[in-house]
């Protein structure tokens, strides 16, 4: 009985062993599958972090690039503004130079034609500036020129233009004048402002000037035509003595009360 039973149990035991092996293989396969799933999840997580880091780095580079471009654009704009200003303004006095004066003169003439008004050009030459440079030095001379520029600007209206013509010469464009005599009254105001004593580097400075006046349309219709008569009138004023003004030959007839 025992031998027969052992023979009959052999297939059962064999099947049991095979089933156990299969179960072990299945468990091992499941464990391997879980490990692979964790590896895949870890890889996806690492990849996501890498992509996020790469995106953040790219955004940082983009922001830096934009800021640099903005800075470069602002620097270029400032440089362009400085170049434009240097081309239109006198470096020492910061007054409009001849180029800007001529541009404003064209506009003033066009407006005067439309409205039936006059335009005046004042040629201002300092009488004693060489003495200042020779006795007190160029540093004081430069300060005096700056002070003259401010005096001229404060003596005219906002619509007028004060320009440095060169050296100690200045040109003033007076717009929208009802009559020529108005230019004479402004010239008197300019001379009074310049003659007021001022202290420059502990030195009391008194500046005197001679002014020649030309008038549109009496003397011409552009700046070049008006500068010549105004310059000649300035020399006639200087012959009268310091601190004088004179109208051009053609303008004197229409300037009541002119000197």
Cα(160)–Cα(129) distance, rounded to whole angstroms? 25
* Catalytic residue (one of 125, 160, 168, 218): 168
Q: What is the separation of C-alpha 121 from the centre of its chain, rounded to a whole number of angstroms?
A: 29
168 is catalytic: yes
Cα(52)–Cα(117) distance, rounded to whole angstroms? 72
Catalytic residues: 168
């Amino acid at each position: 009985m025992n031998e027969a039973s052992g023979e009959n149990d052999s297939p059962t035991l064999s099947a049991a062993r095979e089933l156990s092996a299969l179960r072990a293989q299945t468990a091992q396969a499941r464990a391997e599958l879980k490990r692979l799933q964790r590896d895949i999840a870890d890889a996806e997580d690492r990849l996501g972090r890498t992509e996020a880091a790469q995106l953040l780095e790219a955004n940082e580079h983009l922001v830096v690039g934009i800021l640099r471009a903005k800075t470069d654009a602002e620097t270029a704009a400032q440089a362009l503004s400085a170049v434009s200003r240097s081309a239109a303004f006198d470096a020492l006095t910061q007054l409009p130079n001849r180029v800007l004066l001529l541009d404003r003169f064209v506009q003033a003439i066009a407006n005067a034609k439309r409205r039936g008004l006059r335009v005046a050009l004042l040629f201002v030459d300092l009488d004693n500036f060489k003495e200042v440079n020779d006795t007190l030095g160029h540093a004081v001379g430069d300060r005096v020129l700056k002070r003259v520029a401010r005096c001229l600007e404060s003596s005219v209206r906002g619509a007028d233009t004060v320009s440095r013509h060169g050296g100690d010469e200045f040109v003033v464009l007076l717009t929208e004048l009802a009559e020529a005599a108005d230019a004479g009254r402004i010239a008197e105001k300019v001379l009074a402002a310049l003659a007021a004593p001022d202290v420059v580097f502990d030195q009391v400075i008194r500046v005197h000037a001679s002014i020649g006046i030309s008038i549109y349309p009496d003397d011409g219709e552009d700046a070049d035509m008006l500068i010549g008569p105004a310059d000649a009138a300035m020399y006639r004023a200087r012959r009268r003595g310091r601190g004088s003004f004179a109208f051009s030959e053609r303008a004197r007839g229409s300037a009541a009360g002119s000197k």
